[in-house]
Structures are given as structure tokens and as C-alpha cells.
Amino acid sequence: MRKLIDNLLFRVVLAIALGIGIGYIIPESIGRIFATFNSLFDQLLKFLIPLIIVGLIIPAISKLGKTAGKLLLMTVAIAYGSTLFAGFSSYFGSMAIFPSLIQGQVATDIAESTKALTPYFTLSFPPLFDVMTALVFAFLVGIGLARLEDSTLEKAAIDFEKIISFLIEKLIIPILPLFIFGIFLDMTYSGKVGMILDVFIKIIGVIFIMHILLLLTQFVIAGIIGKKNPIRLLTTMLPAYFTALGTQSSAATIPVTLAQAKKAGVSEDIANFTVPLCATIHLAGSMLKIVACVVALMLMQGMPIDPIQMAGFVCMLGVTMIAAPGVPGGAIMAAIGVIASMLGFDAQNQALMISLYIAMDSFGTACNVTGDGAIALIVDSIYKKRNA
């Protein structure tokens, strides 16, 4: 599987480049074939993601034994702390940079696209349960199994883990590059890429630099705690970063993130526990991007920015986004209610916010999943020290 992941980095980058290049010239009739494939594969991912979470987390928790409860609390605390740090650093960075760049400019309405590739047909096969149900179920069953000895259910969970691993290795990972190609093909064909970059190029550039600085900070901390080279750790996680650029989903990138975290030195049980969990609760990149976009739009519209109000918004946003894991653009859809109620965004500004966020969704998601590797490294280092 490691060789497969290593080759995936090249194939994902190639898929992104081809999607953007071909998107400008492809006939609609052919483009709709890829749109149809993406629609079907997207349904498959949504069906499998809860099963992946259950299949990986239950055995991982049960193998960790009586430490599972403490490990869960520690992971959640570290992940939420990282998300809050990203939100507040984004706010202060945006307030320092954006006023001189964009204040007084008029935002252009990019909410609507002129065309899009639609699938020839769609099939809907809903998941057996949603992601949050899968997480709660996995936690409860895993913690229960951790208290039992020689359990038949634990053996069944381990067998199910093997099935999930097989599906990841033989089905999901090989098809991901084609899925990513289709996503970038549609974005280019519909004109979203050029439209967004033309209007928000300055914002995108600043947010991208913020993402890089956030990742460097996360991995420097992980490197210090784990006594490892942070640059080497970050480089090891790059396949997950580039995969997430295409999938735009932390949960859909779990297989790659999991493999790279193990390659970076995270023990298998800790990786199987922390990576699926952090795909849901660790949204530092999305937090950074939402806060930066909010500040940018408020400055462009001349809306007053109250630091106390923004502090409450960041804290609430960190909790709200947990409700939307695994869905491309899901974070902004969960957050839009908080943005409207706490910051007073009207319908037009909400549309601008959603459009801008989704246009850069892949970068925020890539930051999320890469940071998941740093969280896994930190948790693994602390766990090893406590049990040395």
C-alpha cells in the first residue's frame, strides 16, 4: 500500500493539471461523462465514509484498552485548540494585512456560474448512517470493547477492519485521481477558476500564505514534542495535502492521510484512532479560511468589526463546523448560520461568502488533513511518553 500511496502524489498532481488544461477545450458531451462518473463515485464515497470510520476507530479504541477514554479527551482538546489557534491567528493576520489591500474595493457578485457539467444520470445510495452517528457508535462500542477480554465482537471488528482496508487499497485509492480530474475539469469548464481568481486573487494569496505558516507552526510543535525533523514530517504528509486538493473532503482523504501518518512514524493504533477522528473535529484550515474571508468581505462592504464579537464568533465556529465533516464545502454550509446570526451577513454577502469559500475549499481541506498528521504525531508522542 505504501508504494501505491507514493505513486498517488504524481497521479494527483497530473490529474489537477490535466483537469485545468482540458477544462477549457473539452466538449460538453464528453465532459458530462466525467461528471456522471464523479456523481457516482461521490455517492460511493459518502456511503463508505461512515463505514471507514467505524471500521478503523472501533478496533483502534479496543486495542488501546483502558487508556482510550483519556486518549479521546486528549485528542479532542489538542484538535480544538489547534482550530481555535488557526481562527484567532487568521483574524489578527487578516486585520493587519487586508485593510491596505482591499478596503474600499467593491465586491463582485460571483455567486452564479454561467455553465456547468451535469451528469447524464445519477444514482443515490444513501449511507447506512451519517458521519456523526458513525463516530458516536464507534466511540461507544470501542470503549466498551476496551473493557472486555477475548471478545467475539472485537474479533468481528478486526475482520471488518481488514475488509475496509481492502476496499481502501483496491478501490478508493486507485480511482481517486480520476475523481480529482473530474472535479477540476468541471471547475475550469464552468469558469469558476478564472472568475474567482480575477476578483479575489489578493485574498487567495494571503490565505494561502497563512495556510503554509499554520502548517509550519503545527509541524514545528509536533517536531519539538516528538523530537523529529519538522520539515521531513511535513514533506511526508504532502501526498495527503495534494489528494485533499482534489477531493475537497477531509473524510474522503482519510486513506491517504492514514498511510502517510504511519509513514511519518505514528504507531498504527494511534494513527487508526486519531486520523479518522481528526478528519471530523480538526478543521484548522477551514477555520482559518472562513475567518479570513469574513474579515475580507466585512472590510470590502464597510461593515464594523468588533474584536469581542469576533472572539465569540471564532469560538462558536470551532464547535459548529464539527457538524459538517466529510462533505466538500460542508464547513461553510454549517457555518453560514453562525455568520448570518452573529455577524449580520445578508443574503448577498452570504452568497459571496459561499462562492469564495467553495472556490478555495480544496486549500482549506488540504491544510486540515495535513494538520491531522501533526495532531497524530503529537498524540502519539505524548502517549508513548506516558506509557514508557
Q: What is the pLDDT of residues 241-279, one digit of tens each?
A: 988 877 767 777 888 898 899 998 888 888 888 888 888
C-alpha 129/C-alpha 298 separation (Å) is 38
Judge contact between 336 and 135, C-beta under 8 A: no
Which of 324 and 188 is assigned the larger pLDDT? 188
Residue whose cell numbers read 477558476: 193
Mean pLDDT across the stretch 110-126? 73
Judge contact between 261 and 271, C-beta under 8 A: yes
Judge contact between 244 and 368, C-beta under 8 A: yes
pLDDT of residue 205: 82
Which of 109 and 287 is assigned the larger pLDDT? 287
Whether residue 130 is predicted with pLDDT greater than 70 in this model: the reply is yes
pLDDT of residue 114: 53
Mean pLDDT of the chain: 81
As a whole-number percent, the residues of the chain with pLDDT over 70 amount to 84
C-alpha 206/C-alpha 63 separation (Å) is 43
Q: CA-based Rg of the chain, rounded to a whole angstrom?
A: 21
- Which grid coordinates are listed for 319? 464547535
Mean pLDDT across the stretch 30-55? 86
Which of 2 and 359 is assigned the larger pLDDT? 359
Phi, psi values for residue 243, rounded to 5°: -65, -45
pLDDT of residue 378: 93
Judge contact between 355 and 199, C-beta under 8 A: no
107 pLDDT band, cuts 50/70/90, is very low
| CATH pick for 1-387 out of 1.20.1300, 1.10.472, 1.10.132, 1.10.3860 | 1.10.3860
283 pLDDT band, cuts 50/70/90, is confident
Contacts of 237 (CB under 8 A, 6+ apart): 257, 260, 261, 264, 370, 373, 374
215 pLDDT band, cuts 50/70/90, is very high
Position 271, amino acid: A
Whether residue 154 is predicted with pLDDT greater than 80 in this model: the reply is yes
Q: Which of 59-63, 282-286, 322-326, 333-337 has the highest mean pLDDT?
A: 282-286
pLDDT of residue 198: 55
Closest CA to 177 of 48, 358, 362, 16: 16
pLDDT of residue 279: 82
pLDDT of residue 1: 44
What's the pTM? 0.68
- The DSSP secondary structure of 215-260, one letter per residue, reads HHHHHHHHHHHHTS-HHHHHHHTHHHHHHHHHH--TTTTHHHHHHH
Q: Contacts from 207-212 at CB under 8 Å and sequence distance 24+? A: 207/288, 207/289, 207/292, 207/293, 207/360, 207/363, 208/363, 210/89, 210/90, 210/93, 210/288, 210/292, 211/285, 211/288, 211/289, 211/363, 211/364, 211/366, 211/367
pLDDT of residue 138: 85
HSE-CB at 287 with a 13 A cutoff on CA atoms is 34
7 pLDDT band, cuts 50/70/90, is low
pLDDT of residue 82: 92
Judge contact between 327 and 127, C-beta under 8 A: no
Which of 18 and 62 is assigned the larger pLDDT? 18
Phi, psi values for residue 342, rounded to 5°: -90, -30
Whether residue 110 is predicted with pLDDT greater than 80 in this model: the reply is no
317 pLDDT band, cuts 50/70/90, is confident
pLDDT of residue 85: 94
Whether residue 69 is predicted with pLDDT greater than 90 in this model: the reply is no
Q: Which of 79-93, 99-113, 234-248 has the highest mean pLDDT?
A: 79-93
C-alpha 343/C-alpha 106 separation (Å) is 19
Closest CA to 109 of 361, 354, 351: 351
